[in-house]
Amino acid sequence: MPQGVDAATFTKALDELAAIVGKEWVFVDELPLSAYRDAYSPLADGEMLPSAAVAPANMEQIQQALKVFNAYKLPIWTFGNGRNFAYGGPAPRQSGYVMFDLKRMNRILEVNEKYGYALVEPGVSYFQLHRHLRKIGSKLWVDPAAPGWGGVMGNALEHGAGYTPYGDHFVMQCGMEVVLADGKVVRTGQGAIEGSQHWQSTKHAAGPHFDGMFTQSNFGIVTKMGIWLMPEPPGYKPFMITYEREEDLAAIFDAVLPLKINQVIPNAAVAVDLLWEVSAKTTRRHYFDGKGPIPDSIRKKIASDHGLGMWNFYAALYGPPPIIENNWKLVEAAMMSIQGAKLHLDRENDPAWDYRVQLMRGEPNMTEFSIMNWIGGGGHINFSPISAPDGKEALSQYNLIKQRCHDFGFDYIGEFLVGWRDMHHILMIMYDRADDGMRKSAYDLFGKLVDEAAGAGFGEYRTHLAFMDQIAKTYKHNDGALWDLHHRLKDVLDPNGILSPGKQGIWPQAMRNQAQSHGRLNKDFKD
């Protein structure tokens, strides 16, 4: 039950919601509600469970439902696809929330071939958009997240990244339709002009730019969003370079930075560690069934068996063949200058190579989930700090985080992704969810990494639900002025505090003091 709501009142509210969306789209039984849990969480199964779920079909039903939620002051948790696994999936921030599931709103409203964009609703997945583009004969590419079942809108709103030159998904967003907590509908940018033909062509309008305010926030419900799509290039050259030493990471990033800033390499280049890369082909127990991190001697055998490096660098070149040929000379000179580097332009019968090649040309797939087989048991949580792509910084981060993983008994499994001027470091903490000790260790490791990252001057760009408060507290310049601003906006736009309370550490007034009494969702780990 939602906190502070009695059973009779809750039943009355659900009856009113059923009259709006249809009785079949209000879920209260255990079996359908089980779909809204975080299947990979470091917390116990009893944590973060909803009290009910409501699935509206359109914006008008959203508006009507919001009247009910406001009247009864019911906290809701809104999502489109709910596929951001490793960050909480569809689960609510706290138990008792009502899930506001937008999966029925899955229309592709427009594809504009001339200007290269699509207009989508929250429930549209990468697979769906990709299939639609192929069906209509479009020459536009989707830029998918690694698991293709994720939502186009949701990933952009959560600052997600892909692997083509259009890999910064929020940058490629253009034009939102947002329903505020009081039911008022706002269109951002040129969408605020009646009859505008340029809503998905330019982000800007007169006055402030509001799109960013609705990313990773609980200030409104985004119901439509434009996304720029990449025209199919006349040429495509994917490549992989393996590097045999862990310390090569510094040289890799020093070499790649000027290539990225000058757009010689236009896509999101990624350096993948050995264990992440090999998980597409084998399992940990095939090589080592002991406790603690895999010994270096076995890591070297894995690399030798599979023709891999300690770091495996992927990128691609795009455009007319003469331009690719010229840019390739620059790439080869820089990236192959590192001792022991080995170039791969094809790898036969290698699912990891096939997976990266598909991603970099805009083909969604699910190969990334093969990493779940590395340990077994399904548990994983991503620690995702962001910083500048400096070689010394990358190596320093790697050495620190690897050591902390080993301190807690985990393998380091990670990758570094380079944008124009940023570096996303994604650590995959893997564990068997059936092992309470491993779950607790993963939880404790994550919390320690958050504190140590903040101490070193860098923060996370997205995070699991359980750590949103702790991470919010690390953004504490000028006595937490940024989060004070977030809360002032929350109080004005959502005075009843019904929209996703606690998302990214933004709480309504009535829940704020309790939430801020500790850094994480749970002060202590709960078995």
Could you tell me if 242 and 323 lie in one domain? yes
- Which pLDDT belongs to residue 516? 55
Flag whether 451 is in a domain: no
pLDDT at 206 over 70: yes
- DSSP 8-state secondary structure symbol assigned to residue 221: E
CATH of the domain at 296: 3.40.462.10
- What lies within 8 Å, CB to CB, of 512 at 6+ separation is 487
At residue 259, does pLDDT exceed 70?
yes
Mean pLDDT score, 217-232: 98
Look at residue 343 and give its three-state secondary structure. Answer: strand
pLDDT at 46: 81
- Judge residue 252's burial from the number of C-beta atoms within 10 Å of its C-beta, 0-12 exposed, 13-18 middle, 19 or more buried: buried
Q: How far is CA 200 from CA 79, 87, 145, 324, 498, in A?
A: 22, 29, 21, 30, 30
Q: What is the reported pLDDT for 56?
A: 98
Output the domain CATH number for residue 63.
Answer: 3.30.43.10
What's the average model confidence in pLDDT over 395-407?
A: 96
Would you call 134 a catalytic residue per the annotation? Answer: no
- Tell me the backbone φ, ψ of residue 465, rounded to 5 degrees: -50, -40
In a shared domain, residues 93 and 131: no
> What's residue 353's pLDDT?
97
What is the C-alpha to C-alpha distance for residues 499 and 343, in angstroms, rounded to an integer? 50
Which H/E stretch holds residue 344? strand 342-344
- The C-alpha angle with vertex 524 and arms to 160 and 374, in degrees rounded to 5, equals 50
Q: Is the pLDDT of residue 519 over 80?
A: no
Asked if 102 and 121 touch (Cβ cutoff 8 Å), the reply is yes
Burial 382-416 (b: 16+ CB within 10 A, else e): bbbbbbebebebbbebbeebbebbeebebbbbbbb
Over residues 66-83, mean pLDDT: 95
Main-chain dihedrals φ then ψ at residue 423, nearest 5 degrees: -130, 120
Last residue of a domain, one of 210, 231, 252: 231
User: Mean per-residue pLDDT for 472-492?
Assistant: 95
Q: Do both 165 and 264 map to the same domain?
A: no
Tens digit of each residue's pLDDT (9 = 90 or more) over 131-159: 999 999 999 999 999 889 999 999 999 99
Any domain includes 522 = yes
One domain for residues 1 and 99: yes
Q: Which helix (H) or strand (E) holds 59?
A: helix 59-72
Q: What percent of the chain has pLDDT over 70?
A: 97
pLDDT tens, position by position, 327-380: 999 999 999 999 999 999 999 999 999 999 999 999 999 998 888 889 988 899
Domain membership of residue 459 (yes or no) is no
Structure tokens at 479: 């006595």
> Does the pLDDT of residue 168 top 50, yes or no?
yes
Q: Is residue 284 among the annotated active site residues?
A: no
Summarize the confidence of residues 314-323 as an average pLDDT. Answer: 98
Single out the catalytic residue among 236, 243, 431, 461: 461
Which of 179, 209, 231 terminates a domain? The answer is: 231
Give the model's pLDDT for residue 122: 97
Q: What is the pLDDT of residue 1?
A: 84
458 lies in some domain: no
Does a structural domain hold residue 450? no
Is 163 annotated in the active site?
no
Residues 240 and 377 in one domain: yes
Instruction: Give yes or no: residues 29 and 163 share one domain.
Output: no
Give the 3-state secondary structure of 377-443: CEEEEEECEEECCCHHHHHHHHHHHHHHHHHCCCCCCEEEEECCCCEEEEEEEEEECCCHHHHHHHH
Q: Could you tell me where the DSSP H helices lie in 336-367?
A: 351-360
496-510 average pLDDT score: 96
Residue 371: exposed, middle, or buried by beta-carbon count in 10 A (0-12, 13-18, 19+)? buried
Q: How far apart are CA 310 and CA 32, in angstroms?
A: 43
**Is the pLDDT score of 523 beyond 60?**
no
pLDDT for res 527: 40
Q: What is the pLDDT of residues 413-433, one digit of tens each?
A: 999 999 888 999 999 999 999
Does 283 share its domain with 356?
yes
Highest mean pLDDT among 36-45, 88-97, 310-319: 310-319
Quick: pLDDT tens for 269-302.
999 999 999 999 999 999 999 999 999 999 999 9
Beta strands at 98-101 and 76-79: parallel, antiparallel or unpaired = parallel
* Residue environment code for 428-462, b if the CB has 16+ CB neighbours within 10 A, otherwise e: bbbbebeeeebbbbbbebbbebbeebbeeebbbbb
Choose the catalytic residue: 93, 284, 404, 462. 462
* pLDDT mean over 120-141: 98
Same domain? For 223 and 257 the reply is no
- Supply the CATH number for residue 150's domain: 3.30.465.10
For 37-51, 188-202, 416-430, which range has the lowest pLDDT when averaged over its residues?
Answer: 37-51
Query: Do 400 and 261 fall within a single domain?
Result: yes
pLDDT for 4 equals 86
Buried b (16+ CB within 10 A) or exposed e, 141-160: bbbbbbbbbbbbbbbbbbbb
Structure tokens at 196: 């505008």
Angle between helix 391-407 and helix 436-455 axes, rounded to 10 deg: 150
Both 212 and 307 in a single domain? no
- Overall number of domains in the chain: 3
- Residue 310 maps to a domain: yes
pLDDT of 522 reads 44
Q: Which residues pair with 416 in a beta bridge?
A: 271, 425
Across residues 209-215, what is the average pLDDT?
95
Enter the tokens of residue 87: 């960050």
Same domain (yes/no): 370, 264: yes
Six token digits for residue 306: 């599979």
pLDDT at residue 300, rounded to an integer: 97
Is 518 a residue whose pLDDT tops 70? no
pLDDT of residue 515: 64
Measured CA to CA, the distance from residue 491 to residue 218 in angstroms comes to: 11
DSSP summary character for residue 125 = B
Domain that holds residue 208: 108-231
Q: Where are the alpha helices (DSSP H) in 207-288?
A: 248-261, 274-278, 284-287
Tell me the two tokens of residue 302. Answer: 């894995």
Q: Which of 87, 97, 163, 166 is catalytic?
A: 87
Q: Among 206, 231, 256, which residue terminates a domain? A: 231
Please indicate, yes or no, if residue 443 is contained in any of the structural domains: no
Verify that 31 and 56 share a domain, yes or no: yes
In a domain, 453, yes or no: no
Mean pLDDT of the region 217-239: 98
pLDDT-derived band at 525 (thresholds 50, 70, 90) equals very low
